């Protein structure tokens, strides 16, 4: 490294976010940026550790350890320290097609596995990543780069989320003619309609990259749901030499308790997607939290996004129910480095709620038992109870209600953010694809071949609900194996 003692000389420093009470008044991104001098100092903290776990991308205890797309993190940290920004961008693009996305929405398992993080705050990898790529856009270094030749092979990609986009980008680089089919009105999948604008700007960031992909020769066909009567999958198989399914895991987990059918109880993605659609097209056709007591059931990123979106609508109050206990403030003994650190944190939505209402909106070890409504069928309240986790007679941990802890919360809007069960099944049924016991498409990791020759699967529809960065990993891998299937060999990584 250019500064071997940098990790001893400089402290971890992150750019400030916009003030919570300011940013809840708009839908603009809330992260600010460090000046170049401070960024170079942060690059100098990368410590030439010899055995860097930050880019390993392995699973430990079921969680990502290091970067799943194997970003060459020590290399571009060193290049930033030396002021060689264009070379840093080239290194970053070798492994990551879309660093402006991961630099904004990835939870940064790389930082959780940073060697410096054993004893000190880790290197600011995520912030460095997004700064490198934005420097590239600002300087005009990122321009369309169509392949020098075409192979004559055509590939259909069904789904334009993160796995689909990375597969399309890689296959296009290999010279294949790529068409991406998307049932929504705009490409991007989860990136477009699942992640709010204040985390990932749609026009300035997401559509900027989509336009570049189009300029490189990729075709996006929107408002098209493959597998229905208007767009039968058999026709697609006849017209293309290969197909990659990247439809995501969009079947939400429900909460079938009394009152579930009341007006005002919605899946989180109904709420988030309609809100982004309204922002993009200027319509008033969305589920509004304005003037509502909002109860969000479920934690995780989706729950946080519901908190932040509800606050921007102007909700009266917001409560977030989490059935799990609060994480510890520091790593537990059974959660050692380099595992992902399961520690308590305040994400942006909780910070905003605390700034507005004076407290973290999360209530732990609590679940909903029923919904009440008025005579017109409108939601009015949520009944809750605390739980304790214990083992049943099979040795499985299950939540058990704690008598005497029942409460009733006022609610005009309930958002179910409890994760996803797997991919929607109609397209899979139409293809008669083999599936695993969790209803995901059956295809081995690193091979991605389904039970039908020439049909591949990647991302959440194959592995189940997971991180955006794993979807990028799988999209790139599926492109490599698809290229091998089409050409007999491949040079794709």
375 token code pair: 């005579």
In a domain, 492, yes or no: no
Instruction: Using alpha carbons, list the distances in angstroms from residue 297 to 104, 146, 259, 319, 402.
Output: 25, 46, 15, 8, 18
Q: What is the pLDDT of residue 287?
A: 97
Sign of the CA dihedral 299, 301, 306, 309? positive
Sign of the CA dihedral 414, 162, 185, 461? negative
Sign of the CA dihedral 99, 100, 102, 103? positive
Q: What is the pLDDT of residue 63?
A: 86
Same domain, 286 and 331: yes
Report, as ranges of residue numbers, the positions in the chain whose pLDDT lies below 50. Answer: none
Helix, coil or strand: residue 191: helix
Q: Where are the alpha helices (DSSP H) in 432-467?
A: 460-463
In a domain, 173, yes or no: yes
Q: What is the pLDDT of residue 454?
A: 97
Same domain, 352 and 372: yes
**Which helix (H) or strand (E) element contains residue 398?**
strand 397-401
Same domain, 334 and 407: yes
The enclosing domain of 332 has a CATH number of 3.50.50.60
Same domain, 230 and 343: no
- Name the residue range of residue 162's domain: 154-250+421-487
| Structural domain total, the chain | 3
Q: What is the pLDDT of residue 424?
A: 96
For 67-193, list the strands marked E by DSSP: 154-158, 177-181
Q: Longest Cα pair distance anywhere in the chain, in angstroms?
A: 71
Q: What is the pLDDT of residue 64?
A: 87
Same domain, 317 and 406: yes
Q: What is the pLDDT of residue 229?
A: 86
Same domain, 298 and 244: no
Same domain, 357 and 323: yes
In a domain, 147, yes or no: no
Same domain, 243 and 290: no
Q: What is the pLDDT of residue 48?
A: 84
């Amino acid at each position: 490294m250019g500064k071997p003692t940098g990790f001893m000389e400089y402290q971890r420093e992150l750019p400030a976010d916009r003030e919570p009470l300011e940013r809840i008044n708009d839908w603009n991104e809330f992260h600010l940026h460090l000046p170049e001098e401070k960024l170079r100092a942060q690059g100098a903290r990368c410590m030439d550790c010899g055995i860097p776990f930050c880019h390993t991308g392995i699973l430990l205890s079921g969680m990502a350890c290091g970067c799943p797309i194997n970003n060459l993190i020590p290399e571009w940290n060193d290049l930033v320290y030396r002021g060689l920004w264009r070379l840093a961008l080239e290194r970053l693009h070798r492994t990551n097609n879309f660093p402006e996305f991961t630099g904004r929405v990835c939870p940064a398992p790389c930082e959780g596995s940073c060697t410096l993080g054993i004893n000190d705050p880790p290197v600011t990898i995520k912030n460095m990543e997004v700064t490198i790529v934005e420097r590239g856009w600002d300087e005009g270094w990122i321009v369309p780069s169509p392949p020098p030749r075409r192979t004559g092979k055509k590939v259909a990609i069904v789904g334009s989320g993160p796995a689909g986009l990375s597969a399309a980008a890689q296959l296009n680089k290999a010279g294949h003619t790529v068409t991406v089919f998307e049932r929504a009105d705009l490409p991007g999948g989860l990136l477009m309609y699942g992640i709010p604008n204040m985390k990932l700007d749609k026009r300035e960031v997401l559509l900027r990259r989509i336009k570049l992909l189009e300029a490189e020769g990729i075709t996006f066909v929107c408002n098209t749901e493959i597998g229905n009567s208007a767009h039968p999958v058999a026709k697609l198989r006849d017209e293309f030499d290969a197909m990659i399914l990247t439809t995501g895991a969009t079947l939400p987990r429900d909460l079938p308790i009394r009152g579930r059918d009341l007006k005002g109880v919605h899946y989180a993605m109904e709420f988030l997607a309609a809100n982004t659609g309204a922002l993009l097209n200027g319509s008033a056709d969305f589920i509004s939290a304005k003037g509502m007591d909002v109860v969000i059931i479920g934690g995780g990123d989706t729950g946080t996004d519901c908190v932040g979106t509800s606050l921007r609508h102007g909700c009266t109050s917001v409560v977030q129910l989490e059935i799990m206990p609060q994480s510890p403030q520091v790593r537990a003994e059974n959660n050692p480095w380099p595992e992902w650190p399961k520690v308590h944190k305040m994400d942006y939505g909780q910070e905003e709620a605390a700034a507005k209402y004076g407290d973290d909106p999360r209530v732990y070890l609590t679940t909903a038992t029923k919904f009440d409504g008025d005579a017109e069928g409108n939601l009015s309240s949520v009944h809750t109870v605390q739980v304790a986790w214990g083992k049943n007679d099979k040795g499985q941990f299950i939540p058990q209600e704690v008598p005497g802890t029942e409460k009733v919360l006022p609610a005009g809007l309930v958002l179910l953010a409890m994760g996803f069960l797997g991919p929607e099944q109609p397209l899979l049924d139409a293809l008669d694809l083999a599936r695993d016991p969790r209803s995901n498409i059956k295809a081995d990791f690193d091979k991605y071949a389904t039970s039908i020759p020439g049909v591949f699967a990647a991302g959440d529809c194959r592995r189940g609900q997971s991180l955006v960065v794993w979807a990028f990993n799988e999209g790139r891998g599926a492109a490599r194996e698809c290229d091998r299937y089409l050409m007999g060999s491949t040079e794709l990584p």
